[in-house]
Amino acid sequence: MWRNKLRSFVVITAVTVGIFGAIYSYALMNGLINQKIVSTINFETSHIQIHHPKFKQNKEPYFLIENAQKIVEGISKIPEVDEVTRRMIFLSLANTSNSSTAVLVCGINPEIEKKITNIYSSIQDSSGGYFNSEKDNQLLISVSLSDKLQLSNFEISENTLKELYEKDVPEKIISKISVLQDIKFRSKKDFKDTLKYIIGKKLAKEFEYPIITYSRGYKLKSNIILKMQDFNGNFVEKAFKIGGVYSTGNDLFDDVNVFVRNEEILDLLNYNSEDSHQITILLKDEKNVDNVVSQLKIKYPELQIQSWGELKPVIILIKKWITISYFFLIGIILLALGFGIVNTMLMTVLERVKEFGMLIAIGMNKKKVFKMIMLESIFLSATGGITGLIISAIIVEIYGKQGHDFTRWIGQGYQTIGFDAIIYPNLDILHYCGVVILVVLTGIIAAVYPAKKALKLSPVEALKTDA
281 vs 374, residue with greater confidence: 281
For the chain, the straight-line distance linking the first and the last C-alpha, in angstroms and rounded, comes to: 18
pLDDT at 5: 77
Model confidence at 259, pLDDT cuts 50, 70, 90, reads: very high
The predicted model scores a pTM of 0.78
How crowded is residue 230: how many other Cβ atoms within 10 Å of its Cβ? 14
Residue 365 has what pLDDT? 73
Q: What percent of the chain has pLDDT over 70?
A: 91
Half-sphere exposure of 399 (CA within 13 A, CB side): 21
| Poorest-pLDDT segment among 35-49, 170-184, 251-265, 342-356 | 342-356
Q: Sort 100 into a burial class: Cβ within 10 Å, 0-12 / 13-18 / 19+.
A: middle
Task: State the pLDDT confidence band at 464, using cuts at 50, 70 and 90.
Answer: low
pLDDT given at position 78: 92
Confidence band (pLDDT; 50, 70, 90) for 417?
low
CA 426 – CA 437 distance, rounded (Å) = 20
Per-residue pLDDT averaged across 412-421, rounded?
64
Q: Is the pLDDT of residue 339 over 90?
A: no
CA 256 to CA 252: how far, in whole Å?
7
Query: If you average pLDDT over residues 1-9, what whole number do you get?
Result: 72
- CA atoms of 145 and 219, how far apart (whole Å): 12
Q: For position 416, what pLDDT does the model report?
A: 62
CA atoms within 13 A on the CB side of 15: 31
- Mean pLDDT for 309-316 is 89
Tens-digit pLDDT profile for residues 79-138: 999 999 999 998 899 998 888 899 999 999 998 998 999 888 888 777 888 887 677 888
Distance (Å, whole) CA 5 – CA 3: 6
Q: What is the mean pLDDT of residues 365-381?
A: 78
Confidence of residue 345 (pLDDT cuts 50, 70, 90): confident
Which pLDDT band, with edges at 50, 70 and 90, does 411 fall under? Answer: low
User: Who contacts 134 (Cβ-Cβ below 8 Å, separation ≥6)?
Assistant: none
CA-closest candidate to residue 37, choices 254, 285, 315, 413:
315
Q: Are 130 and 115 in contact (CB under 8 A)?
A: no
Q: What does pLDDT average to over the chain?
A: 83
